[in-house]
Structures are given as C-alpha cells and as structure tokens.
Amino acid sequence: MSQAATSTSAVHIDLDIAAVDRQLARLDARDRIAWSLAHLPSSQVLSSSFGVQAAVMLHLAGEVAPGIPVVFIDTGYHFAETYRFVDQLTRRLAINLKVYRPRLSAAWQEARHGRRWEAGRAALQAYNRDNKVEPMRRALGELRVGTWFSGLRRVQSASRREIGFIEQQWGRCKVHPIADWGDREVHAYLERHRLPYHPLRERGYVSIGDWHTTRSLADIDDESQARFFGLLRECGLHDLPDKQHHKPA
C-alpha cells in the first residue's frame, strides 16, 4: 500500500451510532471519554486548535487518558499568542503534542497561489483544504486513529447546533464530550481548575484561527464575521460530511 493510501485510510466502524449517542447522552463529560476509550475503536487522539476555551478539553482528556496524543495543525499563520499558548499549556498539562503541518510551507504556497484567503470563498476553501484538512487527515492515518475527540459545543455556532456526542467523520468515530456544555459550564471548569483562556480573549476574540481570517468583535459588525470574513462557518475539519448513522449489517 502506498504512503498516501496509508496516511488517509479509515478504520472499519460497525456501530449503531445513534444508540451510542443515546448512551453518551446519559453520562457526564468525563464518563463519555472513559466510555469511549473502553468501547470505541483505538487508537484515540484529541484534536485542538488551542482556541479560546481549549484548556477545558486538554485538561479533561488528559485526566481521563493521560498521555493521549493531542493533534495541533500548524498552518504557519497562527497568532504569536497562540504559539505561546500552545507552549504554556503543553508544559503545564504535560501534553503529548503531535504537530502536523501542510506539505508546503506558507511562503511556498503564497509564491504559487498568492494570498488565497483574500480571493473569495472558493480560494479560501482550497486554502483550508491544503492547510487544515489534509494535515488532519494525514495525522489520523499516521497515528492509526479509530476514535477522535474534539471540544466542539452546540452553542458555538449555528453550524454546530445539531452535533451529536458521537458522529462518524472520515471513517473514524468522532466524539464531542462537551457538546452540551454552555459558556457557563466552560467558565466554571476553567475557574475550578485554575486554567487560562486564550490570551486574545481579553481583546475581544471569540473564535481564534489564522491571523489573516480572524477578527476581534471590536472590528466587525456581527459575530458571524469573526472567522473567514463571514464567507464560511467551518474550516473543513468539522463539516461532518459522513454524518449518517451506521448500523450493523
């Protein structure tokens, strides 16, 4: 099998996703992680953008599954504050960090394609595929991931309002242990464990990605414009293209 095929190959999933979702709904966030570790396909990773409230899932998953690999996609365009936040949390929480990057550097991409994030929706989608989706799919393949934890929450955006506690994406189980948490629960968890928000939160940033497509609330008219100029709601990592429920044959 070629390297490309190996890096993107999926695992076999023979689960009633709807039934598992109902099972997870009866548990708290910590037990959702523990149940998933015991019953869902291995190996497991947590993905993190090290965004505004990232410390919650990093701490929670690390307590339930010490040493779980944490995948961070480095596009080369993160804020300096984000890189320092990654370093800070990695040291404090003893994170098993796995950094994945695009196959081409930021400079080489700009030489080939220009500043795609300024060239409209289609060019921005192509940028996201090259810089976020491809490295994430490569990470899932190289780490032989069967179950992928993510900190998505329903209150974060309209595009996430209907997410389940478990979905199927790219042939993996994707688990959202804090999908039903509101901002109050997030804040209480951070306070209880003395964990920090991303430092840019104090400057009005509510969703943080690449510097060129992230805006502070002070600079926009509507929160929907905080990422991708309002042209996109998701970068492609969490579009859940194969969200259908799968049942045993």
Nearest-angstrom CA–CA distance, 225 and 205: 11
Predicted pLDDT of residue 131: 95
Q: Cα–Cα distance between 129 and 142 in angstroms, integer?
A: 18
Q: What amino acid positions are annotated as catalytic residues?
A: 235
Residues in the chain, how many?
249
Q: Are 197 and 190 in contact (CB under 8 A)?
A: yes
- Fill in the DSSP letter of residue 197: P
**pLDDT value, residue 247:** 36
Q: Under 8 Å CB-to-CB from 234, ≥6 apart: which residues?
A: 159
pTM as predicted: 0.86
Q: Both tokens of residue 63? A: 């307590």
pLDDT reading at 1 higher than 70? no
The rounded mean pLDDT for the chain is 87
**Closest-CA residue to 89 (of 44, 140, 143, 51):** 51
What local confidence, expressed as pLDDT, does residue 243 receive?
Answer: 43
Closest to 58 in 3D by CA, of 33, 28, 25, 41: 33
For residue 176 the two structure tokens come to 């959202």
Contact, 61 vs 34, CB < 8 A?
no
- At residue 109 the predicted structure's pLDDT band, cuts being 50, 70 and 90, is very high
The pLDDT of residue 2:
31
Which domains, and CATH codes, for the chain? Answer: 3-230 (3.40.50.620)
Higher pLDDT, 12 or 187: 187
9, 40, 68, 158 from 37: Cα distances, Å: 21, 6, 11, 29
| Confidence band for 234, pLDDT divided at 50, 70 and 90 | low
> Going by DSSP bridges, is the β-strand pair 166-169/172-175 parallel, antiparallel, or unpaired?
antiparallel
Mean pLDDT, residues 198-205 taken together = 92
